[in-house]
Amino acid sequence: MLIEFICNGKEISVDVLAEMRALDLIRNELLLTGTKCGCSKGECGSCTILVDGIPECSCLLLAPKLQGKVITTIEGLEGADGELHPIQQAFLEEGAVQCGFCTPGMILSTKALLKKNPAPTVTEIEEGLSGNICRCTGYTKIIKAVQFAALKLKGSEI
Amino acid sequence: MRNQELVQVGKSALKVDGRELVTGKAKFSGDFNFPDLLHGYACRSKIAAGYIKDIDISQALKVPGIVDVVLPKDILGGNIVGILPPYDQPVLADKEIRYAGESFCLVVGTSVRAAKAGARVVIATIEPIPPILTIDEALAKDARKIHAAGNITVSKKLIKGDCAKAFAESDVILEDTFETSNQEHAYLETEVVCAVPYGDGRITVHASCQSPFHIRGHIAANLNVPVANVKVVQAYTGGSFGGKDDTATEIGSLAAVAAVRQGKPVMISNEREESIVGSTLRHASRIHYRIAAKKDGTITGKEIKILLDGGAYAAESPFVAMKALIHSAGPYKIDNIKVESTALYTNKTYCGAFRGFGVPQVTFASESMMDELAKKLKMDPLELRRKNALKPGDLNATSQVFQESVGLIETIDKVIDLNRSYTLPSKKQDRYLYGTGFASMYQGISNGAEGIDVVGASVQVMQDGSALVGIGLTELGQGSRTVFAQIAAEVLGISLDKISVKQVDTDTVHDSGPTVASRSTTVGGMAVYKAAGEVKRSLLKMAALMFKTEENNIILKDNFAQLVFDENAKIPLNDVCVAAYWTGFPLMNLSFSKAPEAKYDQDTTQGNIYIAYNYGTHMMSVRIDKLTGEVKVLKHLAVHDAGKVVNPKAFEGQVEGASLTGFGLAHLEKIQYREGVIINPNLADYAVPTIKDRIPSETISIETYNPTGPYGVKGIGEPPVSGAAASFANAVAKATGIRFKKLPITRQVILEAINRKK
Ligand code: FES
Ligand code: FES
């Protein structure tokens, strides 16, 4: 079936099978491989994308469900001039990235969190990122990165 | 190098490969895409032990999209994995199934979905045999032999002094048995490889892996082609922690065989379940510990028996057993030690390297015993540790002596100091129990007893004044590329933004051995240091000609060659590079760093083993809810002597990450079996710590100068696992008054014990 949606600001119209996962559409058809797959079961968060601003596990989402939606993947964050998004910058500067496999999902969950709650407490950050597993960092630097990003973004449009 | 003023080393640097990672541009193995890409999916045994009678692939070949099914006979070379002798593991099981999850054929199709559909209709006739599932079953006198040589993979001894005498003359003897469970690596990226016949007569394998040269050798052996025909390129790797050695070798070989058969690229991407059941785990263990001491707290003897359940194949069991052997007596000066360390085969998923490599298991036992001894002698647990701690000049367990860079006492003193200013919440509130636990540990740096330790690194300076570093050690998230860049930048006086570090491509970097044993920064860093030093000589020689002065009047700094005595007299480094190039001074160098070879007695394991040790002391304070068993970590101090710290922020990241893995081992994570089949092979039922389980680790480094590492560095990747796990166990014991002898000490275990005690 033909579906149309907006991905990272671009209009997409693509033919998909009814049972195709959004994750496979994004990775294999749109070739946006920044969205990762760590479990295929909704348990790790590495496949997180934003659908109308809400973080979703794209491994659990069927591609046809994207019809008419606005989605953001990690590739959509960087500015046209190659400038990093403040959240990306914060993750980098705070040392919140080790192997980096969880990072795209973490950054997108952070984006959704900060949009809803521009100055989250530590507990709120933990709540907001509880669906994203990271095996490398121990999370402490991720929390710091979110706080730092919140500070940088204060008041500005995310 | 000592006391030198440093510009790059010791400063927090941004990860050199970080930008690719935060933007999603970094290419991991699973991100490769080719129009004719095929996918391989393995058929795996559902039972733990059996004889393979027949594999019927006729139905599978009829499934749309299936192009091939690879059977053991199709592997033209040796059909072996196993990076160490005894090389007892087949890529595909041929006659016998030795664990549930072992693969016996690979279905190759045009999509993952097709390959899986094909795998479902492969009919395997496997005659079940009673599996051997526990240490005791494996050791039983008339036990069936899992391998021809028996059920003992390896057994090693360490003998120092006269233990019998020490025990006979002691004032106190304590004795107990401890156990630990299997732990899964659970790197967020599963094992993935993509084998590509690029049409150059060779085979290239892009791999998520830890030791590309191991893989290269095995692929060649399994294809039965010269090693020079194989190229392995490490892709960005989503964590490894020791786990992507054997398994990457296994699926790398399989994908290569399939790709050669089809003349097309083949990807194998393990599903999470496969990654848990079909790849290495941390060894489960049973450790019997005896300790003899004098009334004043002097430990006079230790007698330890370690049994490691290594699962179906040897994998890295021989090395893990050795490391456990060497570290089991702890970082103390003890004159009489007797240890036996034995790894066994059972019909379970095979075990191998996992961050800490046998040390977390023995440290848990050792440090639990230290606390029990302190209790018995009514001594302060930190005082007891301090009294017995290794100092410079002491003989350690293998009678190796380090004259410097033995900072254990400093780590203990730091904890004593910080603990003084920390008070646990008052115990009045009935619902909660509070306790603080401590643990000291050490961990050898370098391959040590595991083999000769050589790293080759290249440094090439370009005419524009930038530099390229090549080394055969892999970046797995630990930040080694950044550390190598910092070292090269330091030597060459080039800013970090002008330094690139290659990804490991076996064609273009020198075989540097495995990326293990916290050796990258020391042995690897030394090779980079040397190679950069050679290129620096060319630059100094050229600059001296340009300045018309002696070389020793010149320093390289901030991308300039400048006169020592006049910082305004300087020439841009790129001008020096251009001149050096046209003059014919070499701008590239390949250098080697070789750690002093381990020299020790094979029967007693006495001698010089490692080039240095990391020493650490941890403190953990917990609050336990008596009603639910829930544990909250209120404070965690991780104090380490890791030598000079190259990149403080990355250092903290290593400590925080390793500590949480140790906490997971001690409190949350447990592989569960039913009849030898893992019943929780997913991230919902196997509890990897989430952000809500985070512990508030504070990293403190005691810097000593290690003469065997560049700028005095040692290493930090693994040690905190042991410290965090053992201090957790002691904190829970302190809070509850109950000694828990088996990891993990889960909330439920705690609750049951509290209820029993009531
Ligand atoms: S891949 Fe979707 S949650 Fe893990
Ligand atoms: S950085 Fe490796 S999983 Fe998070």
Q: Are residues A107 and A141 in the same domain?
A: yes
Instruction: Give the pLDDT confidence score for residue B368 in this predicted structure.
Output: 98
A108 in any annotated domain? yes
If you write DSSP's letter for every residue of B658-727 in order, what string do you get? HHHHHHIIIII----EETTEES--STTTS----GGG---EEEEE-----TTSGGGB---SSTHHHHHHHH
Ligand closest to A48 (CA) is 1
In a mutational test of the A interface, the residue from B21, B32, B184 whose CB has the highest number of chain A CBs within 10 Å is B21
**Mean pLDDT within B647-672:** 96
CA B209 to chain centre: 12
CB contact under 8 A, A140 and B697: yes
Q: Are residues A91 and A147 in the same domain?
A: yes
Considering only the beta carbons, identify the residue of B188, B241, B697 that sits closest to A102. B188
Q: Which of ligand 1's atoms lies nearest the C-alpha of A57?
A: 2
CB contact under 8 A, B683 and A31: no
Residues 6+ apart with CB under 8 A from B755: none
Residues 6+ apart with CB under 8 A from B34: B196, B264, B265
Identity (one letter) of the amino acid at B362?
A: V
Q: Are residues A65 and A111 in the same domain?
A: no
Q: Which of ligand 1's atoms lies nearest the C-alpha of A39?
A: 4
Instruction: Quick: pLDDT tens for B193-245.
Output: 999 999 999 999 999 999 899 999 999 999 999 999 999 999 999 999 989 98
The beta strands (E) that lie in B449-536 are given as 454-461, 467-471, 499-501
Q: Which of A32, A57, A76 is the last residue of a domain?
A: A76
The beta strands (E) that lie in A1-155 are given as 2-7, 10-15, 48-51, 54-57, 70-72
Instruction: Give the pLDDT confidence score for residue B204 in this predicted structure.
Output: 97
Instruction: Quick: pLDDT tens for B574-609.
Output: 999 999 999 999 999 998 888 778 899 999 999 999
Cis peptide before B86 (omega within 30 of 0): yes
| Total residue count of chain B as it appears in this document | 758
Distance CA B96, CA B146 (A): 9
Q: Which of B90-99, B567-576, B615-624, B703-712 has the lowest average pLDDT?
A: B703-712
Q: State the DSSP code for B520.
A: I
Q: Are residues A53 and A88 in the same domain?
A: no
A45 in any annotated domain? yes
Q: Are residues A72 and A96 in the same domain?
A: no
- The domains located in chain B, with CATH, are 29-129+191-269 (3.90.1170.50), 284-448+600-757 (3.30.365.10), 454-594 (3.30.365.10)
Q: Residue A149 belongs to a domain with what CATH number?
A: 1.10.150.120
What are the structure tokens assigned to B521, written together?
Answer: 């920064």
**With contacts defined as CB-CB under 8 Å, which chain B residues touch A39?**
272, 682-683
The helix (H) or strand (E) run that includes residue B118 is helix B112-120
Q: Buried (b) or exposed (e) across B141-173, using 16+ Cβ within 10 A? A: eeeeebbeeebbbbebebbbbebeebbeebeeb
Q: Are residues A104 and A92 in the same domain?
A: yes
Q: Are residues A118 and A130 in the same domain?
A: yes
CB contact under 8 A, A136 and B239: yes
**With contacts defined as CB-CB under 8 Å, which chain B residues touch A99?**
21, 187-189, 236-239, 476-477
A116 in any annotated domain? yes
If you take atom 3 of ligand 1, which residue's CA is the nearest one? Answer: A42
- Tell me which chain A residue has its CA closest to the CA of residue B682: A39
How many whole angstroms from B674 Cα to the centroid of ligand 1? 26
Cis peptide before B392 (omega within 30 of 0): no
Residues 6+ apart with CB under 8 A from A38: A44, A45, A46, A47, A101, A102, A133, B188, B189, B190, B238, B272, B683
Comparing A142 with B716, the larger pLDDT belongs to A142
In angstroms, what separates the C-alpha of B134 from chain A's closest C-alpha? 29
Q: Are residues A97 and A140 in the same domain?
A: yes
Q: Is the complex ipTM more than 0.85?
A: yes
Instruction: Give the pLDDT confidence score for residue B518 in this predicted structure.
Output: 64
Q: Residue A37 belongs to a domain with what CATH number?
A: 3.10.20.30
**Percent of chain B scored above 90 by pLDDT?**
84
Q: Are residues A88 and A43 in the same domain?
A: no
Identity (one letter) of the amino acid at B357?
A: F
CB contact under 8 A, A98 and B14: no
Distance CA B639, CA B651 (A): 12
A158 in any annotated domain? no
Position A70 pLDDT exceeds 70: yes
Q: Which of ligand 2's atoms lies nearest the C-alpha of B238?
A: 2
- Tell me which chain A residue has its CA closest to the CA of residue B37: A28
Pocket test for ligand 2, best of A43, A47, A137, A143 (most atoms within 8 A of CB): A137
If you write DSSP's letter for every residue of A7-34 in order, what string do you get? ETTEEEEEE--TT-BHHHIIIIIS--TT
Instruction: Give the pLDDT band (50/70/90) at residue B508.
Output: confident
Instruction: Quick: pLDDT tens for B265-306.
Output: 999 999 999 999 999 999 999 999 999 999 999 999 999 999
Distance CA B123, CA B69 (A): 12
Q: Which of A52, A76, A100 is the last residue of a domain?
A: A76
For residue A67, the enclosing domain spans: 2-76
Instruction: Give the pLDDT confidence score for residue B1 in this predicted structure.
Output: 59
Residues B477 and B239 sit within 8 Å (Cβ to Cβ): yes
- Tell me which chain A residue has its CA closest to the CA of residue B647: A95
First to last CA, chain A: 33
Pocket test for ligand 2, best of A39, A106, A129, A134 (most atoms within 8 A of CB): A134
Considering only the beta carbons, identify the residue of B21, B271, B657 that sits closest to A103. B21
**With contacts defined as CB-CB under 8 Å, which chain B residues touch A60?**
none
Instruction: Give the pLDDT confidence score for residue B626 in this predicted structure.
Output: 95
**With contacts defined as CB-CB under 8 Å, which chain B residues touch A135?**
185-188, 239, 241, 657, 661, 688
**Mean pLDDT within B244-259:** 94
Instruction: Give the pLDDT band (50/70/90) at residue B470.
Output: very high
Distance CA B506, CA B232 (A): 6
**With contacts defined as CB-CB under 8 Å, which chain B residues touch A91?**
22
Comparing A121 with B472, the larger pLDDT belongs to A121
For chain A, the domain total comes to 2
CB contact under 8 A, A75 and B22: no
